[in-house]
């Protein structure tokens, strides 16, 4: 009986050591990615403070607030493996919250695209007196491996101070992501975001001071 207990004890010890060895083993390193902005247009220029203060010369657009679905509000990149199935890329993460990236790049690009058209683009919570506000809601931003990267967003143009809704639009963009890789996914979504910014800029140009 004592010998049997010893065998059981030795077996248990071996199993514990194996378990502990697995727990202390090194996991794959996490990689981090960012959406990127298209370089500024060569003919862009900086708007002066005097232009910003001249109420009759420019209109001021407040961009935001921004919303994203809860399934995107996480560090991991998201791929779509089936129409109703998503996969989190455990070791491929966004380098900053996705909503922060989208809001920053959209503000940057619209400012560049519109500053020659008498349109100043600011954050929606700016203390400046805004003429219009543009809320943006990202509906989808995912990738089907080996197929397309999809960006769908709903955005509005609201006139201040009467809060009248003057435009509402749902935009949808797809880009071939080329190969099944996080780099290709991020690059494709960067091009999608650029297309969204250009469409928004075209729409906002009609609202002249």
Predicted pLDDT at 134: 97
Tally Cβ neighbours within 10 Å of residue 54: 12
CATH superfamily of 28-204: ABC-type transport auxiliary lipoprotein component (3.40.50.10610)
Q: Who's near 25: CB < 8 A, 6+ residues apart?
A: none
- The full DSSP string for 135-159 is EEEEEEEEE-TTSEEEEEEEEEEEE
Q: Who's near 28: CB < 8 A, 6+ residues apart?
A: 91
pLDDT digits 0-9 by tens, 73-131: 999 999 888 888 988 888 999 999 999 999 999 999 999 999 888 899 999 998 889 99
CA distances to 2, 4, 15, 30, 154 from 9, in Å: 10, 9, 10, 38, 63
Q: How far is CA 182 from the centre of its chain?
A: 14
Predicted pLDDT at 170: 97
Short-list 32, 34, 41, CA closest to 187: 34
Predicted pLDDT at 26: 58
Bridge-based pairing of strands 59-67 and 119-123 is: parallel
Whether pTM > 0.75 for this model: the answer is: yes
- Mean pLDDT within 18-31: 62
Report the C-alpha gap between 13 and 10 in whole angstroms: 5
Asked whether the beta carbons of 39 and 112 are under 8 A apart, the reply is no
Q: Which residues pair with 175 in a beta bridge?
A: 149
pLDDT digits 0-9 by tens, 32-82: 999 987 665 544 445 544 555 455 568 999 999 999 999 999 999 998 888
- Mean pLDDT within 185-203: 95
pLDDT digits 0-9 by tens, 132-184: 999 999 999 988 877 789 999 999 999 998 999 999 999 999 987 666 788 88
For residue 3, pLDDT over 70 is answered with: no
CA distances to 46, 92, 170 from 74, in Å: 35, 11, 24
């Amino acid at each position: 009986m004592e010998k049997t207990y010893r065998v059981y004890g030795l077996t248990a010890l071996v199993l514990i050591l194996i378990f502990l060895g697995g727990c202390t083993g090194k996991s794959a390193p996490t990689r981090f990615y960012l959406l990127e902005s298209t370089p500024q247009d060569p003919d862009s220029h900086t708007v002066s403070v005097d232009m910003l203060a001249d109420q009759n010369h420019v209109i001021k657009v407040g961009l935001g607030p921004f919303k994203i679905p809860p399934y995107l509000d996480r560090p991991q990149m998201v791929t779509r493996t089936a129409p109703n199935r998503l996969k989190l890329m455990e070791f491929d993460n966004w380098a900053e919250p996705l909503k922060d990236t989208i809001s920053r790049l959209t503000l940057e690009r619209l400012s560049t695209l519109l500053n020659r058209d008498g349109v100043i683009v600011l954050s929606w919570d700016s203390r400046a007196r805004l003429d219009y506000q543009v809320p943006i809601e990202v509906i989808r931003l995912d990738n089907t491996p080996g197929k397309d990267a999809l960006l769908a967003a709903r955005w509005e143009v609201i006139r201040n101070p009467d809060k009248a809704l003057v435009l509402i639009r749902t935009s949808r963009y797809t880009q071939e992501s080329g190969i099944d890789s996080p780099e290709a996914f991020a690059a494709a979504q960067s091009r999608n975001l650029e297309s969204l910014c250009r469409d928004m800029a075209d729409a906002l140009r009609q609202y002249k001071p």
